[in-house]
Structure 1
Amino acid sequence: MRTSFGPFKLVYSALGQLLVLGWLLVASGAAFAQAPAGKARNFTRNARLMGSHFSFTAVSKDDSLAWRAIRAGIRETQRIDRLFSYWDSTSQITQVNRQAGIKPVVVDQEVYDLIQRTLKLSALSNGAFDITFAGGEKIYKFDRKEHAGLPAPEVVKASVARIDYRKVLLDPATHSVMLQDKGMRMNLAGILQGYGVRKAQALMRQMGIQGGLINGSGDVSCWGRQSDGSLWRIAIGDPVYPQSVSSWLTVTDVAVVTAGNYEQYFTVQGKYYGHIIDPHTGYPATGLRSVTIICPDVELADGLDEVVFVKGPEEGLAFINKLKGVDCTLITNDGRTLASRGMAVNYYSTQQPQTAAAPTP
């Protein structure tokens, strides 16, 4: 997500862009693992989608099926991007934004359903996740430099005056959406990559791909097994050393979504301010550098990482611990690693993760 109100999804290059930890032969943007004829192989293709780097891996004995499924997954992601685009003047999201404070807009069932799910997440998180963030004023410059100070309190307060998910009005009878006030804007960027990965995976599985992995710039979902029968190994980057890995997981049939808040930031008197904005206060969320969410649904995980960033280490960890089937590992500004109660992850360092978060630094 490339906005001032949502986490920027990172791809860690140290182990092949948060890819399978295995050897692949790369040629012209595509890759496959060498194996004897008749044996399953890993087929991988990279693509630029939704303004980010995506990779699609299909495990199959049939190379024609594998490539067809990967191409179908890419096309499905492109379709979703066009349908929900904040920037495309013809998208239904843009039409809703144009009619803010004027009238409702009838949208496709798919668009209506995704907006409805985001509003449920907003209510669950008490507004920590809010698709109306696009109506906020951009008052910060995340240029990695030292700034003299934060904007004046009244400027900060005014910057989020048009952010309020409760003013997104849905009519189930007509499948219409309306933003209550003029000047409001919605942008589904905070959950769209996860949704795109989920839809592409469902299509590939429907086509007969029984094992695979899709990585949407840090939004990873995997199913089945690799060609050698092993589970998928997913790396989590170290925010202090961006070209290294802090930990990894061995998983299948699960989503692993990692977001970092350290590519876009500024400092004031040495204090770090990342680019994720608390929609309640207008100030940058503080305390965390990296959030990794593990749960069965990549779309949900994509939204939850932002929730945790906004809530901060202690409250964010407590929030995740209340959710069934969801786990997380966090890295704080001061380098501490925190983990939810059910989290099982392999760490490269000797540091043991804390299961009870310390106060926000």
Structure 2
Amino acid sequence: MRTFLLRNLAGWVALVALAWGPVGAPPARAQGGATVAAARAPRAYTRSGHLMGSHFTFTAVSADDSLAWRALRAGMRETQRIDHLFSYWDSTSQVVKINRMAGVRPVVVDQEVYDLIARTLKISALTGGAFDATFASGDKIYTFDRQAHPALPDSATVRRSVARIGWEKVRMDPATHAVYLPEKGMRLNLAGVLQGYGVRRAQALMKQMGIAGGLINGSGDVYCWGKQADGSGWRIAIGDPARPRTVSSWLTVSDMAVVTAGNYEQYFTVNGTYYGHIINPHTGYPATGLRSVTIICPDVELADALDDAVFVLGPQAGLALVNRLKGVDCTLITDDGQTLVSRGMQLNSYHSAAPAAAKP
């Protein structure tokens, strides 16, 4: 058994993809050096790398080892290209150019960049601003050092910290593909969706090259398609925040994204109350009520944005949002350890307590 322990922007997250079978093993050979017929059966080939500041794993299922390795390299190169184009940290990226010209003038960008920003604004509208790519405009007033702090920042400081955040302020010109941040100090950061977008583009490229089955794990943003080498579906296990690196439930999927966000690695406490790193862009305070959000849907880019949005919305409003979206499901783990699921979600629980069904 091969186990993938996934990582997201917040650190280790408890999401595991379980795949059985040899990975990139050399073909068996008959006497005399001839390759036996069984060697032509599909096998899983895996390659990992540090991309977008995180750990990525690419798996391709193929009977053609040359094709598999070419596809894996192509998937990694595509992810690198996207990172260079959209990075918040790369001084040559188009997102950085937009940020530099905030309050000065619009910046004309590539169609691809314009389209992704436009989609993030649509998700912001859908979630009532719970997902907001201008979150980088906020001041950094918290230190998530896993330590006990004497108090939260005062309310005036918190209000000021989010004064420049606002997805609705972003101006888009479809005729010229120009993007404008109208206030000095405003910043775009697409980190909340970029890894999902990178996974989606890499998967589409690998599939176009002839890889009928595979799995890409972009730091906790997982997309799997087709079947494993033995013909079975991909088994995805969701971890237990209360017991790191253990499993609470699992499901079998194909042609589906499974994306998890957790706030139990980056946090601080005040008087015993736990505050995680995911900030509510409306209030400036850390989002509370949830420890883990897992989104399941066919679009890994959308899932990547929704996990943070549901985290900010909280258990009730987050479930209500997911239950309104066609083809999207979720499972949530609350601060008190309760597991909640959306209406269409079916989990195989590793614990004796069954997940609580979401109410309409």
TM over 0.5: yes
Q: Point out where structure 1 has 5 or more consecutive residues left out of the alignment.
A: 1-5, 26-30
Structure 1 length normalisation: TM-score?
Answer: 0.92
The answer as to whether partners of 2:21 and 2:230 remain within 8 angstroms in 1 is: no
* 1:3 paired residue number: none
Query: 1:20, CA displacement in angstroms?
Result: 3.2
* 2:140 paired residue number: 138
* 2:297 paired residue number: 295
* 2:324 paired residue number: 322
C-alpha separation in 1, matches of 2:71 and 2:238: 27
* 2:268 paired residue number: 266
Q: Does residue 278 of structure 1 match 2:275?
A: no
Query: 1:10, CA displacement in angstroms?
Result: 3.7
Query: 1:33, CA displacement in angstroms?
Result: 8.7
* 2:31 paired residue number: none
Work out which of the residue numbers 68, 93, 102 in structure 1 matches 2:95: 93
* 1:19 paired residue number: 17
Trace 1:92-131 onto structure 2 (pairs within 5 A). Answer: 92-131=94-133
Query: 1:11, CA displacement in angstroms?
Result: 4.8
Q: Does residue 78 of structure 1 match 2:76?
A: no
C-alpha separation in 1, matches of 2:334 and 2:17: 24
Secondary structure of 1:292's aligned partner: strand
The answer as to whether partners of 1:160 and 1:279 remain within 8 angstroms in 2 is: yes
CA RMSD of aligned residues (A): 1.6
Q: Point out where structure 2 has 5 or more consecutive residues left out of the alignment.
A: 1-7, 29-37
C-alpha separation in 2, matches of 1:220 and 1:7: 13
* 2:224 paired residue number: 222
Shift of the 249–34 alpha-carbon distance from structure 1 to 2, 3 Å rule, reads: farther
C-alpha separation in 1, matches of 2:168 and 2:154: 27
The answer as to whether partners of 2:27 and 2:39 remain within 8 angstroms in 1 is: no
C-alpha separation in 2, matches of 1:162 and 1:32: 53
Amino acid at match of 1:134: A
Structure 2 length normalisation: TM-score?
Answer: 0.93
The answer as to whether partners of 1:33 and 1:42 remain within 8 angstroms in 2 is: no
Secondary structure of 2:356's aligned partner: coil
Work out which of the residue numbers 320, 339, 349 in structure 2 matches 1:337: 339
Secondary structure of 1:74's aligned partner: helix
Q: Does residue 57 of structure 1 match 2:55?
A: no
The answer as to whether partners of 2:136 and 2:186 remain within 8 angstroms in 1 is: yes
Query: 1:345, CA displacement in angstroms?
Result: 1.2
The answer as to whether partners of 1:9 and 1:218 remain within 8 angstroms in 2 is: no
Work out which of the residue numbers 161, 174, 181 in structure 2 matches 1:159: 161
Query: 1:224, CA displacement in angstroms?
Result: 0.5
Amino acid at match of 2:309: V
The answer as to whether partners of 2:21 and 2:44 remain within 8 angstroms in 1 is: no
Q: Deviations along 1:232-259, whole A, 9 cap, x unmatched?
A: 0011111111121111110101100011
Q: Deviations along 1:315-355, whole A, 9 cap, x unmatched?
A: 11111111111000000111000000000111100111112
Shift of the 317–154 alpha-carbon distance from structure 1 to 2, 3 Å rule, reads: same
The answer as to whether partners of 2:13 and 2:262 remain within 8 angstroms in 1 is: no
Q: Deviations along 1:74-110, whole A, 9 cap, x unmatched?
A: 0000000000000011110000000001100000000
Work out which of the residue numbers 238, 241, 253 in structure 2 matches 1:239: 241
Secondary structure of 1:154's aligned partner: helix
Count of residues paired in the alignment: 344
Trace 1:31-42 onto structure 2 (pairs within 5 A). Answer: 31-32=24-25, 36-42=38-44
Amino acid at match of 1:198: R
Shift of the 128–251 alpha-carbon distance from structure 1 to 2, 3 Å rule, reads: same
C-alpha separation in 2, matches of 1:318 and 1:151: 31
Q: Deviations along 1:255-288, whole A, 9 cap, x unmatched?
A: 0001111100011111111000000000000011
C-alpha separation in 2, matches of 1:148 and 1:169: 41
C-alpha separation in 1, matches of 2:240 and 2:94: 38
Secondary structure of 1:90's aligned partner: coil
Query: 1:34, CA displacement in angstroms?
Result: 7.2
Query: 1:9, CA displacement in angstroms?
Result: 6.0
Shift of the 24–138 alpha-carbon distance from structure 1 to 2, 3 Å rule, reads: farther
C-alpha separation in 2, matches of 1:319 and 1:286: 17
The answer as to whether partners of 2:249 and 2:348 remain within 8 angstroms in 1 is: yes
Query: 1:45, CA displacement in angstroms?
Result: 1.0
Q: Deviations along 1:190-209, whole A, 9 cap, x unmatched?
A: 00000000000000000000
Amino acid at match of 2:209: M
Amino acid at match of 1:331: I
Amino acid at match of 1:130: D
C-alpha separation in 2, matches of 1:249 and 1:284: 30
Amino acid at match of 1:204: M
